Amino acid sequence: MSLSISGRHLEVTPAIREYVLNKISRITRHFDSVIDTQVMLSIERLKHTAEVTVHMRGKDIHCAASDENLYAAIDLLADKIDRQVIKHKTKTQTYAHEPPKRQVLATE
């Protein structure tokens, strides 16, 4: 999984980069088919926003979270994207079912 982190009106420090990497790595525990992940961090007046786009085979998942603190926004984002990846994984899993039993009609 390749991860790119960029900042809008923000310099991405090594501490922020490491924090995002630790939080986003939770995705790979649940789902291994992640191809690419892009994280965009931005700061406006009193609103810190974190956005992520996860490219998977067959689907792209986008999620955003905002808070007054950048680290809290990253935490919210990690929780949201984790839930969405788990939901996508359960939808794509194939379950082997037994074929329906044939009913035998009694002809008398």
pLDDT tens digits for range 30-66: 777 778 889 999 999 889 999 999 888 888 999 999 9
pLDDT-derived band at 96 (thresholds 50, 70, 90) equals low
Tell me the helix, strand and coil percentages in the chain, rounded to 5.
35, 30, 30
What's the order of all strands across the beta sheet hosting 2-8? 2-8, 34-43, 48-56, 59-67
In contact, 52 and 39? CB cutoff 8 Å: yes
Assigned fold of 2-92: Double Stranded RNA Binding Domain (3.30.160)
Higher confidence at residue 97 or residue 49? 49
Give me the chain's average pLDDT, please. 85
pLDDT band at 97 (very low <50, low <70, confident <90, very high): low
| pLDDT value for 76 | 94
**Per-residue model confidence as pLDDT tens digits over 70-83:** 999 999 999 999 89
Domain boundaries, the chain: 2-92
Q: Is the pLDDT at 99 greater than 70, yes or no?
A: no
